[in-house]
Structure 1
């Protein structure tokens, strides 16, 4: 029998792991998954941030818990995967969202900063996806992986923005998403990416200040920046059975910025 739209978006009985989930976009995505009924595990580096975010999720009626891990460290990524599977069992939804940015002219960009950005924004996504897939998704032939990319991965930047490592890493995330989806579709695993535009956050505060928040908003066809609700819909679509025939795709959530900049 064909399910209703409410049933297709229902995540009751599902478990989600969200990295970078203690604030900003990650916490917004954790809210979306939890509000749809999923049990949520959030992770980031700082226990205090995780405790506060978990309390916020629980106050919203969400079954939430946390595990601290630095996803730049392969040993801690493995601990995160092992601890999650041990504490909550199978993971149905993995949101790779932990990330870093670094601003510097390409000719002067420190190589160690390049490595830091690439390790967290790309390498950690691969390692955690591999561990969760082998430990839970592949044996059950089901799962959804959601990667946070960016419209910065679609091309260059507006004049004045110098984030060569970040742009490169997010372009890599988009093609990582496509390649992984093509390979793991045989295991029943869907892999998709979200490309946010400008959202106020701790990571983007420097960019917003340098470029001018009002100017960035005015340059978007919708005339505003992203808010605390704008990633919820696409996150839920990718995670739920409503999106069960969608894989290997990316979607810009940017108020239309990418359609006028050639993304």
Structure 2
């Protein structure tokens, strides 16, 4: 019986791979047999993860990269191509959450949030797509968020640039899907709700009041568990999703349907 989730022989690029959801996804790719290029700014953490993944029998390459800097992105993708020869899968996962509302955000904070969360996807995709188009094959998965369709009334959790940037990711995903499908490239997004990560562990997970309120709203009555985003990512990266493009899968315990 064919294994539709088998990624042996594929090369996956993961941005924001130095920790949290990106590192988890990189491990999941390796478990399914894919070689993995790990991109992030923190080279030491990347090298440690690359060593861990490499010990499982697949190839792993650590590449320092600032996704908001075009020259850094260009050099990083050049290095990946030189090492692996191709890119089959791109997980645009790098992101930041800048707190603050429109009335209080500085222009610098607004630009920082948009640069990493939206411009970063644009730049990495810009330099990966020509290689996928040449091979008439590619799987691109962009990380959006439940906050692309939901805000928060609590003052301490207002993140307006995060809302705006993650909504932009969904729009960009649809546009890319329409343009690159003819090259055999699918483009989809995952939109996680509350997962414990470096971004949330020191803020949202430290507020018992918030966790209780969140759990009361979500149909599954809890935040996500570690690793629960990996399944949807692998699905969208594999032949199991060969006729799916332009979609956003909300991995949110039902939050989006309440």
Q: Please give the range of the TM-score, normalised by the shorter of the 2 chains.
A: over 0.9
**1:124 has 2:120 as partner:** yes
Does the residue aligned with 2:103 lie in a helix, a strand or coil? helix
State the distance in 1 between where 2:226 and 2:36 align: 18
Q: Report how far residue 5 of structure 1 moved.
A: 4.5
Whether the aligned pair in 1 keeps the contact of 2:101 and 2:159 (CA below 8 Å) is: yes
**Partner residue of 1:105?**
101
Give the alignment partner of residue 83 of structure 1, picking from 76, 79, 82: 79
Q: Report how far residue 60 of structure 1 moved.
A: 4.1
State the distance in 1 between where 2:147 and 2:58 align: 32
State the distance in 2 between where 1:133 and 1:105 align: 35
Whether the aligned pair in 2 keeps the contact of 1:5 and 1:242 (CA below 8 Å) is: no
Does the residue aligned with 1:212 lie in a helix, a strand or coil? helix
Whether the aligned pair in 1 keeps the contact of 2:38 and 2:62 (CA below 8 Å) is: yes
**1:70 has 2:66 as partner:** yes
Structure 1: stretches of 5+ with no match in the other structure: none
**Partner residue of 1:54?**
50
State the distance in 2 between where 1:103 and 1:207 align: 12
**Partner residue of 2:35?**
39
Give the alignment partner of residue 146 of structure 2, picking from 143, 146, 151: 151
**Measured at CA, do residues 194 and 158 of structure 1 come closer, stay the same or move farther in structure 2, by a change above 3 Å?**
farther
State the distance in 2 between where 1:118 and 1:208 align: 24
State the distance in 1 between where 2:203 and 2:193 align: 15
Per-residue CA deviation, residues 21-49 of structure 1 (Å, 9 max, x unaligned), is: 12111111112211111001111101111
Structure 2: stretches of 5+ with no match in the other structure: none
**Partner residue of 1:162?**
158
**Partner residue of 2:217?**
219
Q: Report how far residue 91 of structure 1 moved.
A: 0.1
Q: Report how far residue 207 of structure 1 moved.
A: 3.0
Q: Report how far residue 165 of structure 1 moved.
A: 0.3
**Partner residue of 1:195?**
191
Per-residue CA deviation, residues 58-89 of structure 1 (Å, 9 max, x unaligned), is: 34444322101111211101111111111111
Q: Report how far residue 252 of structure 1 moved.
A: 0.6
**1:207 has 2:210 as partner:** no
**1:176 has 2:176 as partner:** no
Per-residue CA deviation, residues 199-238 of structure 1 (Å, 9 max, x unaligned), is: 0111123233355334323432112211222011111111
RMSD: 1.5
Q: Report how far residue 147 of structure 1 moved.
A: 0.3
**Partner residue of 2:255?**
257
Q: Report how far residue 53 of structure 1 moved.
A: 1.8
**Partner residue of 1:22?**
18
Does the residue aligned with 1:108 lie in a helix, a strand or coil? coil
User: TM-score scaled by structure 2?
Assistant: 0.94
Per-residue CA deviation, residues 112-131 of structure 1 (Å, 9 max, x unaligned), is: 01101101100111111111
Does the residue aligned with 1:246 lie in a helix, a strand or coil? coil
User: TM-score scaled by structure 1?
Assistant: 0.92
Whether the aligned pair in 2 keeps the contact of 1:143 and 1:188 (CA below 8 Å) is: yes
Does the residue aligned with 1:65 lie in a helix, a strand or coil? strand
